[in-house]
Amino acid sequence: MNKVTVLGSLNVDTILKINRLPKPGETMQMNSKQNAGGGKGANQAIAAARCGAKTSFIGKIGNDANGAMMLELLKEAEIDTDAITYSASGTGQAFILLQESGENSILVYGGANQELSLEDIDQAQAKIAASDFLITQFETPLAGGKYAFELAKRAGVKTILNPAPAKQVPPEMLSLTDLITPNETEAQALTGIEVKDEVSCQQAAQKLQALGVKNVIITLGSKGAFYQTKTTHGFVPAFKVQAVDTTAAGDTFLGSLSSQLDTDFTNIEAAIRFANKASSLAVQKLGAIPSIPTYAEISANN
């Protein structure tokens, strides 16, 4: 059983179902509105836990109803929440414009997520050191993620960076990264290379390795995922399904991947195939956390 620690965001999602995105100046009726737990960090942690990883979380919530909701969701997934602290700011929120096509646009209010401090991470140092993998994203302050990676590397823990939302990453953080998992948009933002096929995927991956990253997975949505390690590379196709809501697809992929991946990355292709299946199940349901499958559900659909 892998031990996974996630440093990341905790958001309550408000899902607004619409036929299409409104044009500038246009007023439209929504088809429905609902709330669900989310945040890239929470999604990834719950995906890891539901797939069998012993999972811990480092994050920050407000002392409000949304914070209590997120804490309960993590505890229901048997995630260690001892390193979640409270902020005077409200719990993070995301507003998801979900179109009939299944595609979404997301607006995020960081709230308490943006107040996660180096002191908070220091208090979680023992949890990081006891992990096989430490995962972070960019919905909490980048300085905290970099510091956590430094602590992880000192303890011999493998680091996974999900560079989302897309932004420039300091070279020193890339050099601390054992695995980076951008989608095609994020890969282009990091490398300047337009990612559209396997050849351009490999070019982008090689550039990321030249910048100090050890291993690369570039996710390509409904097409699948490209991987490159020090010794091998390849492409793992996605499973073809009818998408209802793609909100948590990438997070489900990464969380489930971390539950199966060996720390020497020798089983990376098999782990990606498992993660692709998990993601394909997630997009067939509405909501982020409610859509994330369990290990049993993934295994039953192989």
Annotated binding site for K(+): 245, 247, 282, 285, 287, 291
- Residues tagged in the binding site annotation for substrate: 11-13, 39-43, 139, 251
251 belongs to the catalytic site? yes
- Ramachandran class of 25: left when φ > 0, alpha when ψ lies in -120 to 50, beta otherwise: left
Catalytic residue, candidates 80, 197, 251, 264: 251
Which position has the token pair 């007023």?
27
- What are the binding residues? 11-13, 39-43, 139, 183, 219-224, 245, 247, 250-251, 276, 282, 285, 287, 291
| Sheet strand arrangement including 104-109 | 32-38, 11-18, 92-99, 104-109
User: Which residues are catalytic, by number?
Assistant: 251
